[in-house]
Structure 1
Amino acid sequence: MSMKELLFSFQGRIGRKTYWIWNAVYYMAIMGFAGGINILFPAIAHLALPLFLLCVLVPDLAITAKRWHDRGRSSWFLLLNVPLVIGRMTVPVGDPSQMTETTTLQLVSSLAALICGAWILVECGFMKGEEGDNQYGPEPK
């Protein structure tokens, strides 16, 4: 599978090793970008990081879709990422001493994000893919 197919195609299957390598690179890139932008351009960091995350969204979804395919699951399982995004957006930002109470929305979205994130981690990160070919393609090597 070419790099273009790996990062931009929602077809095919990948194994756990490729999935973990992608996630290591993905999160290191996010941390490196966030740290660098905060040092170099602190005034626009709050705008630049979301733009960077949008740039890596399609590759992240494509990799995760392929991993779901390896497990014999549809790309519709990518919808489990929605509570993660909502959970991140409802987390309060600012001075912790100014945050007096947690809202019900924050609690519910955090719980949903935790459950969905754990499901994705277990299924995509730890469970073996289907043996042999499946409807999504040949077994990854």
Structure 2
Amino acid sequence: MNLPQLLFSFEGRVGRKQFWIWNLCYYFGLALIGGLLAQISPGLAMFAIPIVLVILLIPDLAITAKRWHDREKSAWMLLLNIPLVVGRAMMPAGSQAMVAETSAAPVISIVALACGAWILIECGFLKGTEGKNRYGEPYA
């Protein structure tokens, strides 16, 4: 699988190693970009980080979908990310005021935590299907 297929295709499979490499690079890169931009201008960082996240959305979803495929599960499992996104959207940078005012916040937080733990355990720690499955051969 070449790099464009890895980053932009929702077909095929990737193992835990590729999943972890992607996520480590993803979060390290975001922290580095955010830190550098915050040194230049905090306002610039708050504007640029969401743009970077949008740019990286498709590669992130594609790699995670392929990891679900390696576990012989549908890419529809990506829907587990929705509570995480909703939870983050409820928390403005550096402020929990909006969350405190929302009565659904504790429920959303618990659901987001459960979904995040499920994604982490399944994609990050559990082995993929041995040999070929309905999504193809294991990533070599």
* Alpha-carbon distance between aligned partners in 1 of 2:43 and 2:100, rounded to the nearest angstrom: 28
Deviation at 1:100, TM superposition (A): 9.7
Number of aligned residues: 140
* Alpha-carbon distance between aligned partners in 2 of 1:139 and 1:121, rounded to the nearest angstrom: 20
**Identity rate of aligned residues, in percent?**
52
- Return closer, same or farther for 1:9/1:40 CA change in 2, 3 Å cut-off: same
* Alpha-carbon distance between aligned partners in 2 of 1:4 and 1:101, rounded to the nearest angstrom: 42
| Contact 1:87/1:112 (8 A) holds in 2 | no
Q: Which runs of 5+ in 1 are unaligned?
A: none
| Contact 2:83/2:112 (8 A) holds in 1 | yes
What TM-score does the superposition give when structure 2 sets the normalisation length? 0.92
Please give the root-mean-square deviation of Cα atoms over the aligned residues, in Å.
Answer: 1.8
| Contact 1:11/1:66 (8 A) holds in 2 | yes
What TM-score does the superposition give when structure 1 sets the normalisation length? 0.91
Deviation at 1:103, TM superposition (A): 2.8
| Contact 1:90/1:109 (8 A) holds in 2 | no
Deviation at 1:13, TM superposition (A): 0.3
Output one character per residue of 1:65-93: Cα deviation in whole Å (capped at 9) or x when no partner.
00000000001000001111101111254
| Contact 1:8/1:62 (8 A) holds in 2 | yes
Name the counterpart of 2:116: 117
